[in-house]
Structure 1
Amino acid sequence: MSESSRATARVTALANPTRFLAFTGRVLPWLGSAAVLIIALGLFMGFTAPEDYQQGITVRIMYIHVPFAWLSMFCYTIMAASALGTLVWRHPLADVSLKAAAPIGATFTALALVTGSIWGKPMWGTWWVWDARLTSVFVLFLMYLGIIALTRAMDDPGRGARAAAILTLVGFINIPIIKFSVDWWNTLHQPASVMRLDGPTIHPSLLWPLLVSALGFTLLFLTLHLMAMRAEIWRRRLAAMRRVSARAVDGLAVQENAS
């Protein structure tokens, strides 16, 4: 068997919820520890980095605001991929991934909005403006809330999974709007300064702490996502056991009544 075939077999094996639980049980302590250490390192580098010549000390909120904003879009992208897994490939863990990621993404988006407002007040002189970037991120937050409500509103898990997947894919159009809004429209929000075709425009003394912090928060998201997926799998197993027990009790009651 080739190396690519063995890798495919390992990935396919993880589609089994039992094997997924076993694998993540081994990985999570290491992943969580790495997330905490790298976040601590990134924040230490950020809060000991030089101040910006224009923004002064307020630039240091960038080391948490930018990772939150990045993860708000990254999490939704993961959900869109999970939605495809639900609708196209019928992957057994795709719906679990989507449902588990939505509350985490909503939290990161809310934190991005709050920290952005705190940063915007001294820079722009206002807490909030309805420009393209801020409005599209707020719409993303509402999308998260709508998906969370939809996944919990339907009694039939299959119908709820399909409906949430469709809504997620429809809402994905907002992700490129968020990314390119500062280029397509005239906004107060600064243009992209890290992910640019001509390279970052941030000085390395500020860029490296930002990248380390973003890596740490990304590992934190992965840790929380895997933990939430494990909790959702156990919740569904418990619900299935309760349904089996209820049917068994109903069957005994019918037999007693018949006798």
Structure 2
Amino acid sequence: MTAVGLMAALALPGVAWAQDDPVFAVFGRPAYSYTDPDGYVNEVPASPGVPLTCANASTAAAQMNSGNAPGMQASAVEPDNLPPGLPNEDLQMRGWAARLVPTTTAAGWAAAPAGSQWVYQRFDISPEYVAFPVGIYIPTAADAARMRVTLQYRANDQLIGIYRNALGSGNTLASPLAAGTWTAASSVGTVALDSGWRAGVNMLTFVVKGKADADGNMMTAFAAAFDAYCAPITPTAVPTSNEWGLLLLGLLAAGAGAVQLRRRR
């Protein structure tokens, strides 16, 4: 990736922030600078955490688990502006991490996947749709090509889509995904994200539809735990000594045949 391409990738989130919100966390992204249209040089500090590499894939992926601070964020989504109509930069983030669902609210729910916690976006009235974005930095194209990420999740009520990078680029997976994974008797959802990673910033956004309770109150919550590893490098086949011998024998036979043809002529 060229320097210009890398700068564009690092600036990818481009999120429209609420006035009092801190910078969005992209785990492991190094510090960088860019020049705005007015000629002012902006210095962006390094993001927290470590990049996702083949050397530390499982540890780095665990940073994305819901409930971390900083960690997975949350943003309200209007029903008439669901992806692909919603570009990534239009998400209104709330702080460094999505807020934890109160223990009293989650009483009777299924336990969050190991290493994660239930999170939600808290407004005066909980919205029906919430996007849960998380960003992570992969330094090299070689690691990105081999990266394999597994997600275990629960959603109240339904994970309706998973998007990678720009939301308008389309669904990472078919939707909707299983509903009701928040109930105590349900099975945890599992998703494999085994392709499509790129060098630089990778943004994953999970769009969840909420469920109204008996009093008409909407709860839109999500819990996600990540693990990762790198596929082994496929070795290039090298002919063995026996194979070289057969190749040489074939060449000798072909040469001998050519000599015989010339003699007969």
TM-score for the superposition, normalised by structure 1: 0.29
Bigger Rg over Cα: 2
Please state which structure has a larger fraction of its residues in strand.
2
Q: RCO (CA 8 Å, sep 6+): is it higher in 1 or 2?
A: 1
